[in-house]
């Protein structure tokens, strides 16, 4: 694989991630991009997501399944217990929570991530 094609696929994956709020898995991105990019492989998607995450331009999220976020600014998430979709929630970052955790442990605490759980608006409406 030549360098040009490699970076084009990487750009493609990055663009797709920047234009969705779904916090997709690698498989989801692959299924979205594959129809227009027949030469794309799932391995390439994984490899490029890992590179982008290592560079810090996207965020790798540890959920029950690994997901990716194009928004690298600190923000909180909500995961629906029914459909598994992940949404951003704009609650302010709590420095005091870091301080509280610091007081109660020996660890160097750099940041925290908040995950809310429940039933999303779409699932609630479809009952
Ligand atoms: Zn839902
Ligand atoms: Zn997010």
What CATH number should be reported for the domain holding residue 85?
3.30.1490.190
Q: How far is the CA of 78 from the centre of ligand 2 (A)?
A: 9
Q: Is the whole model's pTM more than 0.85, yes or no? A: no
Q: How far is the CA of 75 from the centre of ligand 2 (A)?
A: 6
Task: Name the closest ligand to CA 125.
Answer: 1
Q: Tens of pLDDT along 9-54?
A: 999 999 999 999 999 999 999 999 999 999 999 999 999 999 999 9
Range of the domain at 52: 3-69
Task: Name the closest ligand to CA 90.
Answer: 2
Task: Name the closest ligand to CA 120.
Answer: 1
Residue 74 — φ and ψ, nearest 5°?
A: -60, 125
Tokens standing for residue 1? 């694989």
DSSP 28-76: HHHHHHGGG-TT--HHHHHHHHHHHHHHTSSEEEESSSEEEES--S--E
Ion ligand 1: residue ranges with CB closer than 5 A: 80, 82-83, 120, 123
59 and 107 belong to one structural domain:
no
105 and 60 belong to one structural domain:
no
Q: Tens of pLDDT along 81-102?
A: 999 999 999 999 999 999 999 9
3-state SS class at 100 = helix
65 and 7 belong to one structural domain:
yes
Q: Which of 40, 69, 98 is the last residue of a domain?
A: 69
Q: How far is the CA of 100 from the centre of ligand 1 (A)?
A: 32
Tokens 């560079």 belong to residue: 55
Structurally, how many domains does the chain consist of?
2
What CATH number should be reported for the domain holding residue 11?
1.10.10.10
94 and 114 belong to one structural domain:
yes
**Cα 87 from Cα 78, distance rounded (Å):** 5
pLDDT band of 1, cuts 50, 70, 90 = very low
8 and 62 belong to one structural domain:
yes
42 and 98 belong to one structural domain:
no
95 and 38 belong to one structural domain:
no
Q: How far is the CA of 1 from the centre of ligand 2 (A)?
A: 32
Tokens 């929570």 belong to residue: 97
């Amino acid at each position: 694989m030549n360098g040009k094609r490699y970076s084009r696929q990487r750009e493609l994956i990055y663009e797709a991630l920047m234009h969705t709020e779904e916090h997709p898995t690698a498989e989801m991105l692959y299924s979205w991009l594959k129809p227009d990019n027949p030469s794309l492989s799932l391995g390439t998607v994984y490899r490029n997501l890992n590179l982008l995450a290592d560079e810090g331009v996207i965020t790798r999220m540890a959920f029950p399944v690994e997901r990716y976020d194009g928004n690298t600014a600190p923000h909180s998430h909500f995961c629906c217990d029914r459909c598994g979709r992940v949404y951003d929630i704009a609650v302010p970052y709590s420095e005091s929570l870091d301080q509280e955790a610091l007081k109660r442990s020996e660890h160097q605490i750099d940041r925290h991530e908040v995950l809310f759980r429940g039933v999303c608006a779409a699932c609630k409406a479809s009952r």
